[in-house]
Amino acid sequence: MKISLIQMDMAPCAPDENYPRAAQLISQAAGEEPDVIVLPETWNVGFFPHDHLEELADHDGERTQSEMGAQAAEHAVNLVAGSVANRKGDQVFNTAYIFDRQGEMIASYDKCHLFSPMGEHEYFEPGDHLCRFELDGVFCGIIICYDLRFPEWIRKLSVEGLDLLFVVSQWPDVRADHLRTLLRARAIENQMFVACCNSIGRMGETQYGGGSVVIDPWGTVLAQGPVSAEDIICCEIDLSVLAGIRSSINVFRDRRPELY
């Protein structure tokens, strides 16, 4: 499976700039003929506008589903369309959408762990469900940024059977080492591939750190993006290695959930 991560530098508070920019980058990424293209977290508005968030947010994901679904269909590619600020009724969620090669929306996920140090919980509502889906027969899951710090959440997802975890994020450069360490840990402990698409650029006082990465189940970095520039990172993963890894160190067989 070939994956392209779009390490996007979105314009703060400017969805009318970011939607066509995302489409342009998707078209560019499609030139490498990947199986999956991935966008980062809240690429429609940045992370995150404190003023006028409800007005700037997508409404019921309508624009995202229309425009990103059309992109997936046009390029016949699976699209993990990052996440967007998404208004449902009078509440705003941080919502990820996934589209198949026909442009059909096959899964969605509302970020469950909101980043309280930056007040995300004061402006967004938390989700309440895991998200597992298939892309070309591969069992996949998705989490959003701060979710990565909750290994029990990801283990709950992985015990259902997971080959590839997508992480979409706007992770700041000051904690870049945390991001790399946590991604490697989640890959190793759950014996799965991890593909993280992190944004670049600045929002307010925060500089985002890029470094989008694909990691194999041994914790080996297969591809990594720059830390200071917008880029598209393309990487092919060999899913056939999973069976050997899981049989040689069978952590799922040897778990003792009755104790924890």
Positions annotated as catalytic residues are 41, 111, 145
First to last CA, the chain: 35
Cα distance between residue 183 and residue 92, in whole Å = 27
Structure tokens at 202: 């600045």
Q: Are 33 and 68 in contact (CB under 8 A)?
A: no
- For the CA atoms of 9, 141, 48, 105, the dihedral, rounded to the nearest 10 degrees, stands at 80
User: DSSP H helical segments within 106-235, as ranges?
Assistant: 120-123, 151-158, 176-190
Backbone Cα Rg of the chain: 17
Q: How many CA atoms lie within 13 A of 110 on its CB side?
A: 15
Closest to 228 (Cα-Cα) out of 175, 173, 174, 184: 173
